[in-house]
Amino acid sequence: MQTRKLGPFTVSAIGLGCMNLSHAYGHPVDEAEATRLLLRALDCGVDFLDTAALYGFGANESLLGRALKGHRQRFVLASKCGMTGVNGKRVIDGRPATIKATCDAALQRLQTDVIDLYYLHRLDFAVPIEESVGALADLVQAGKIRGIGLSEVSAVTLRRAHAVHPVTALQSEYSLWSREPEIAVLEACCELGVAFVAFSPLARGFLGGQLVNPQKQLEAGDIRLSMPRFEPDNYVRNLQLLPAFRSLAAELGGTPAQLALAWLLASKPEMLMIPGTRSIAHLEENLGAYRLQLDAATVAQLDSMIHPRHIAGERYNQATFAEIDSERFNTQA
Give me the mean pLDDT over the 92-115 stretch.
98
- pLDDT bin (cut points 50, 70, 90) of residue 227 is very high
Give me the mean pLDDT over the 35-63 stretch.
98
Domain assignment present for 216: yes
Domain assignment present for 252: yes
Q: Is 174 a catalytic residue?
A: no
Query: What is the tens place of the pLDDT at every residue in 250-298?
Result: 999 999 999 999 999 999 889 999 999 999 999 999 999 999 999 999 9
pLDDT given at position 130? 98
Give me the mean pLDDT over the 80-90 stretch.
96
Q: What is the rounded CA–CA span in Å between residue 319 and residue 213?
A: 24
- pLDDT bin (cut points 50, 70, 90) of residue 210 is very high
Domain assignment present for 135: yes
Domain assignment present for 231: yes
pLDDT given at position 331? 43
CATH of the domain at 166: 3.20.20.100
Q: What is the rounded CA–CA span in Å between residue 198 and residue 16?
A: 11
Domain that holds residue 20: 3-321
Domain assignment present for 203: yes
**pLDDT value at 9 more than 70:** yes
Q: Tally the domains of the chain.
A: 1
Domain assignment present for 287: yes
Q: What is the rounded CA–CA span in Å between residue 99 and residue 159?
A: 20
Q: Roughly what angle, to the nearest 10 degrees, separates helices 155-164 and 129-141?
A: 40
pTM of the model: 0.97
Query: What is the tens place of the pLDDT at every residue in 180-207?
Result: 999 999 999 999 999 999 999 999 999 9
Domain assignment present for 167: yes
Catalytic residue from among 55, 119, 235, 316: 55
